[in-house]
Structure 1
């Protein structure tokens, strides 16, 4: 099946998710530094979440550059990813409004863990459809970065019950790790472009 509708639908859902996060930001009640400080946690959460959604959009785009076609299993795996991405705005707001208390922070970290797991499942569904000799399978290899990420996100969830600062430090580090699109796919695409010229 053609992948263009899946890509267009995914782009639409991701853009709505980003828009919902923006609408959750409140203007400070006071026009002072204290007023800004009361919204600081919420604004930090918004920036981090915006980066995370951007990372998934960027990597999703790169991923589908090497996918030949889709099937029902890939479509459901993609919807699973989109579901978890749409949960980011509500958990961002809850964690920010709470002042980063343990339970909202744990839920926020859990949603980011589920996004990572859903992305990994999507990759596996594509590899299962296209075969172990596919471009995606060969570019990802053993996917140590993806597997390690799942463990680190799980650690962040557990850590949130003891230290929310440590949790957000872990989540910020993970955002930095994934900020640039998957270099393995970019290298493959660059090589393809070079062979065409």
Structure 2
């Protein structure tokens, strides 16, 4: 199968995820600054999640551009990634509505942790289909960014039960790290 079908399907799912997240934002009843205050955590969480979906969309696009074909295992690995990303609207709303309380912040981190693991599985599944000198092998040879993200998500999830704001800071830090594109991909 050509990777463009997988990419198009994934693009559609990610667009739906963003749509669900924005529809969860409630319009305030007042028309002053005071009426917006209760929405600060919800909107902050939405922004962070929107950035995460954008990062996954961008990186998924680059990953598919380095691929020439996908196997059945890759299709399942991609669905596994989309499953975890599809839980992000729920985790976003839960954390935002509960103002960064311990359990909602931990659940948000767990969804990010599992999404990151699923991303690693997708890359691994794709790379298995190519020879060592293929572009995809060179582009995704370093796993430092992925494994450090997985560790930071696990740390953030655990720290949610101690201090949820530190956990949110960790989730933000990982987003900043991933916001910077892979130089190897940009050159390609």
What range is the shorter-chain TM-score in? over 0.9
1:44 alignment partner in structure 2: 44
2:19 alignment partner in structure 1: 19
Gaps of 5+ in 1: 190-197
Q: Shift in Å at residue 75 of structure 1?
A: 0.3
- TM-score, normalised via structure 1 length: 0.92
Q: Shift in Å at residue 159 of structure 1?
A: 0.8
Gaps of 5+ in 2: none
Q: Shift in Å at residue 182 of structure 1?
A: 2.3
Q: Shift in Å at residue 46 of structure 1?
A: 0.5
Provide the C-alpha distance between the structure 2 equivalents of 1:131 and 1:99, rounded to a whole number of angstroms: 48
Aligned pairs (5 A) from 1:76-115: 76-115=76-115
Q: Shift in Å at residue 139 of structure 1?
A: 2.0
2:164 alignment partner in structure 1: 164
Task: Classify the secondary structure of the residue corresponding to 2:105.
Answer: helix
Q: Shift in Å at residue 137 of structure 1?
A: 1.7
1:7 alignment partner in structure 2: 7
Q: Shift in Å at residue 30 of structure 1?
A: 2.6
- C-alpha contact 2:106 2:160 (8 A) present in aligned 1: yes
- C-alpha contact 1:20 1:89 (8 A) present in aligned 2: yes
Matched, 1:58 2:58: yes
Provide the C-alpha distance between the structure 2 equivalents of 1:50 and 1:150, rounded to a whole number of angstroms: 19
1:195 alignment partner in structure 2: none
Point out 4+ residue stretches in structure 1 off by more than 4 angstroms. Answer: none
- C-alpha contact 2:14 2:53 (8 A) present in aligned 1: yes
Cα RMSD (Å) of the superposition? 1.1
1:68 alignment partner in structure 2: 68
Task: Classify the secondary structure of the residue corresponding to 1:5.
Answer: helix
